[in-house]
Each structure stands twice: as C-alpha cells, then as structure tokens.
Amino acid sequence: MNIENTTQYDVDGMLREAVGEYPTKGITVQLKYCPKGSRRYISGTYYRATRGFEEGKLIRLRINKYNRYPLEVQFKTSDYYTEQDKYGRQRVYQRLKTVRFENAENLILGVFLHEFSHYLDHIEGRNGRYKQTKADKFALAILEELQII
C-alpha cells in the first residue's frame, strides 16, 4: 500500500495496521486537506478507475484542517424500523450509529476503513451499488476491534 500524505497527521502506521490482514498490493491512499472554504469535515472516495489509476485502487481522503474535536459522525447500520408519517403511511427508516471521534487521526481511520471496504468489493468483483451500509459496518467493526470506539 502506497500512502501519499500531505497533511500534518501521522496516520500511515495506523492505516496499515488496521487493514494488515487484507490484500493491499497496488492500492494508493492519498490524504490531503479539503479545499479552502470547504464546509465538509472530511470526505473520502474510492476510485474504481480514474486518470492515472485506470485499474482503480485509489482511495482519496480529504480532511478539513479547521475541524474541532471531538466530532460526531453518523454511520449506517442494518437495523431498520418503521414509523407512520403524517399521512398515515408506513415508512421504513435505517438506524444510524453516532460515533464520537476524539481526534483527526481516528476520524481519518474511520473514513479510510469505509473506503477500503469499497476497494475490497472492487477486487472481489462486486458491483459498486448499494454498498454504503456494508462499508459503514466494516469500518465500525474494525474501529471497535481496535478499541477506538
């Protein structure tokens, strides 16, 4: 795994350790800051194919250098419930789990793990649709295993 980190955060070892048991050959992780004026606290994308990475295997993470910690982020679960809307119709909702990140390094790791799940789907030949909940659950499981949450 090649990590290109242009931020102040020392997360290389943490990222490698978190996915040490999974195949990482040929994957590139780019960690940068969000563009100035961005209102996002962090963003992550797994590219199945892009210029310079025609075979995919690129995870790009961007973190906002002005974040204030602790920061709470919601992850999807596979827990669903129904409620009636104001018109009396039954609606199905998905429960979210709120995770409190105490520092930027743990936040970066959480979003990296989410995107890494998409990478695993790609190399295993799965399509890229409807995988957000699965990716969130993957990230949560490893964050719990590492006792970060």
Within 10 angstroms of residue 116's Cβ, the number of other Cβ atoms is 26
pLDDT (tens digit per residue) in 83-110:
999 999 999 999 999 999 999 999 999 9
The pLDDT of residue 117 is 96
Residue 148 has pLDDT above 80, yes or no: yes
The pLDDT of residue 64 is 97
Region for residue 143 given its phi and psi (left: phi exceeds 0; alpha: psi -120 to 50; beta: otherwise): alpha
The number of distinct structural domains making up the chain is 1
Confidence of residue 139 (pLDDT cuts 50, 70, 90): very high
| For residues 115-140, average pLDDT | 90
Angle at 125 between CA 121 and CA 131, to 5 degrees: 35
Confidence of residue 128 (pLDDT cuts 50, 70, 90): low
Residue range of the domain that includes 33: 2-145
146 close to 76: Cβ distance less than 8 angstroms: no
Whether the model clears a pTM of 0.85, i.e. scores above it, the answer is yes
pLDDT (tens digit per residue) in 20-76:
999 999 999 999 999 988 999 999 999 988 998 888 899 999 999 999 999 999 999
Distance (Å, rounded) from C-alpha 43 to C-alpha 64? Answer: 9
Distance (Å, rounded) from C-alpha 102 to C-alpha 109? Answer: 12
